[in-house]
């Protein structure tokens, strides 16, 4: 089935291996070659199915989701769209330390390319599907600041026929308040609590379908090929160097550090350069922001989310919800643990960490080398002795992960 793909350019594949300053394929061990191959986009598995969303691969739903994603009317003030923070020309993020919508959030906007392969969404994994993730900012007062009833009326007023062609009949909303939801202001919550269970169910269904349409669109956002991928493909093919597939001696040294001494590939692994797990790496607090416990709170939230895999609005059976059913629930082990973001494109999207605490790649490398104690919980890091040249080599490699 055809899928929408967003690609701004795609450089031709150059089947070659770097041999500069005496550095070539023979300079890597077989184990290193296997690791490099595992990091290449060629190792990215097929787009995973989403049994929780029966519209996940429906082209009409994806097209509708794209419309919603970029529509600023998806906020009551008519200013904030999903694309306000997830900028199409900035790897679907916004370059800000903290996301800014109707207000300012407590965390950095995450890039979206390859997000469909992740079992957990947000820095803390507080949602377990793309569609449940898409719904969360819509009700957040700092982001879209809307309510479920607002979105149900918005669809009825603006996309009536289009919605019904995909999802079936819309409910009668004549007696439903135009601005009501379980979150938001006291008045909005009171209006929601004054609705009947049947009305709430009908509004929830329309709200959920908006999330499922946006998720269908987001499944089309795939990582772009980089210099590293062309290098890795050449190494695997054992062919001569050519074009930009040839790495410099500094880049090769940085790659070796990434896989070895610097231990970066422990968490930034696989073709998306993330293990989709959660790690406490001693990231400092941000003065003025509330305490952020990361996955400790996120795990509790996803378990309680009515829109999770096991919830009534999921299209999956319980047998498809293994990630949720068997997730780690020892919350003390999860204190201040966050999901490692993909390193693809990271060199050109500072600042770094979940709230933009570190401004440059140099600061990131220094943080991991120093391995400071975590504000709470226990950091997984151990101090590293990296020379200034090694630090620059590591950064040189990270820059090869640019599209």
The Cα 140–Cα 149 span in angstroms is 14
E runs forming strands in 16-112? none
Q: Are 96 and 80 in contact (CB under 8 A)?
A: no
**Which domains does the chain carry?**
25-44+225-286+339-401 (1.10.760.10), 59-116+129-218 (1.10.760.10)
Q: Which residue would you say has higher pLDDT here, 17 or 241?
A: 241
Give the tens place of pLDDT for each residue, 133-161: 999 999 999 999 999 999 999 999 999 99
Start-end of H helices in 269-351: 295-304, 322-325
Phi, psi of 343 (to 5 degrees): -90, -5
pLDDT tier at 194, thresholds 50, 70, 90: very high
By C-alpha distance, which of 224, 48, 61, 76 is closest to 145?
76
By C-alpha distance, which of 2, 5, 1 is closest to 218?
5
Helix (H) or strand (E) holding 255, with range, is helix 249-259
Return the pLDDT at 243.
Answer: 82
By C-alpha distance, which of 13, 279, 260, 253 is closest to 124?
279
Contacts of 201 by beta carbon, 8 Å cutoff, 6+ apart: none
The Cα 305–Cα 185 span in angstroms is 20
Q: Are 66 and 143 in contact (CB under 8 A)?
A: no
* Residue 365 in tokens: 């490398």
Give the tens place of pLDDT for each residue, 379-390: 999 999 999 999
Query: How close are the terminal C-alpha atoms of the chain, in Å?
Result: 26
Give the tens place of pLDDT for each residue, 252-311: 999 999 999 999 999 999 999 999 999 999 999 999 999 999 999 999 999 999 999 999
DSSP-derived letter for residue 17 is -
């Amino acid at each position: 089935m055809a899928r929408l793909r967003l690609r701004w350019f795609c450089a031709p594949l150059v089947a070659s291996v770097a041999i500069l300053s005496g550095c070539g394929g023979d300079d890597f061990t077989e184990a290193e070659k296997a690791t490099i191959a595992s990091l290449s986009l060629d190792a990215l598995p097929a787009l995973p199915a989403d049994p929780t969303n029966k519209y996940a691969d429906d082209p009409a739903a994806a097209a509708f989701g794209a419309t919603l994603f970029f529509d600023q009317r998806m906020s009551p003030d008519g200013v904030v769209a999903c694309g306000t923070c997830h900028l199409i020309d900035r790897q679907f993020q916004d370059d800000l330390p903290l996301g800014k919508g109707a207000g300012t959030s407590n965390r950095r906007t995450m890039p979206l390319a390859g997000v469909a392969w992740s079992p957990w969404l947000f820095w803390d994994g507080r949602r377990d599907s793309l569609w449940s993730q898409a719904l969360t900012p819509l009700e957040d007062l700092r982001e879209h600041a809307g309510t479920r009833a607002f979105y149900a009326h918005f669809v009825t007023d603006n996309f009536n026929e289009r919605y019904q062609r995909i999802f079936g009949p819309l409910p009668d909303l004549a007696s439903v308040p135009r601005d009501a939801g379980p979150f938001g202001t006291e008045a909005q919550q009171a209006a929601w609590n004054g609705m009947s269970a049947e009305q709430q169910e009908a509004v929830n269904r329309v709200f959920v379908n908006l999330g499922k349409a946006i998720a269908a669109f987001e499944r089309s956002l795939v990582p772009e090929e980089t210099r590293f991928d062309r290098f890795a493909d050449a190494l695997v093919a054992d062919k001569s160097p050519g074009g930009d597939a040839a790495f410099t001696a500094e880049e090769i040294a940085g790659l070796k550090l990434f896989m070895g001494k610097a231990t970066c590939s422990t968490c930034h692994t696989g073709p998306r350069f993330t293990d989709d797990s959660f790690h406490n790496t001693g990231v400092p607090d941000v003065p003025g922001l509330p305490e952020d416990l990361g996955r400790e709170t996120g795990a509790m939230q996803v378990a309680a989310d009515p829109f999770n895999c096991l919830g009534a609005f999921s299209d999956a059976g319980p047998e498809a919800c293994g990630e949720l059913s068997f997730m780690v629930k020892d919350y003390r082990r999860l204190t201040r643990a966050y999901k490692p973001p993909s390193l693809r494109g990271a060199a050109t999207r500072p600042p770094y960490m979940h709230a933009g605490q570190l401004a440059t790649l140099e600061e990131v490398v220094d943080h991991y080398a120093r391995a400071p104690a975590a504000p709470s919980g226990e950091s997984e890091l151990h101090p590293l002795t990296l020379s200034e040249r090694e630090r620059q080599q590591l950064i040189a490699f990270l820059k090869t992960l640019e599209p």
